[in-house]
Amino acid sequence: MTRKRVAVLISGRGSNMTALIEAAEAPDYPAQIALVLSNEPDAAGLARAQLAGIATAVVDHRPFGKDREAFERALDDTLQTNRIDLVCLAGFMRLLTPWLVTRWSGRMLNIHPALLPQFKGLHTHRRALEGGVQRHGATVHFVMPEMDSGPIVAQDSVPVREGDTEETLAARILEVEHRIYPQALRLVAEGRVTLAAATAATRG
């Protein structure tokens, strides 16, 4: 088995990154985490990745100012240099332009803390509580140029309980995230889910 070389892109604590690293330790896992890449030099996840013996890189977006494409070219160069096959966005807090997204079409996944297409964007737990939904969840999807859209690879939900706060709900959803992201990456790395197949399934 040739394991796919995966880069995990983070901006913060990297708990999803850790879930992927731990899953990839299984001998039969079809992917290895070859690189953790952050746009934030101080992201806590970088230290955790280094502890696990994984190569890390920082591409700080600030020096590029408003030139998003130049930032993305630097990201892409780092991915190419590390011979990356698949990219997992995991709390990566930069919007990507169609340039990079198209380049990695079918090879870039994102995790979103809601049951897409519900609650795209930020503050999903607050909005779920305000909306009074009975179930809330998380989604792994292929990345498309439009934010938080794209064919779904994996999705699961938990009940919203009476008395839930943003924090208690976020913690319950995070458990879902840590379960479905490694499952989704496995499906894509094994070629059992492709962009074309996920597109057909999402359309129904």
For ligand GRF, the nearest residue by Cβ is 91
Total residues binding ligand GRF (CB under 6 A): 13
Concatenated DSSP letters for 153-178? EEEEEEEPPTT--HHHHHHHHHHHHH
Distance between CA atoms of residues 156 and 179, nearest Å? 9
Distance between start and end Cα atoms, the chain: 32
Q: How far is the CB of 158 from ligand GRF (least distance, A)?
A: 14
- What φ, ψ does residue 152 adopt, rounded to 5°? -85, 135
If one asks whether residue 177 binds ligand GRF (CB under 6 A), the answer comes out as yes
Distance between CA atoms of residues 126 and 185, nearest Å? 28
Residues 83-112 that bind ligand GRF (CB under 6 A): 90-91, 111-112
Q: Is 178 among the residues known to form the active site? A: no
Stretch that binds ligand GRF, among 9-17, 24-32, 127-135, 196-204 (CB under 6 A): 9-17
Q: How far is the CB of 18 from ligand GRF (least distance, A)?
A: 8
Residues that bind ligand GRF (CB under 6 A): 10, 12-17, 90-91, 111-113, 177
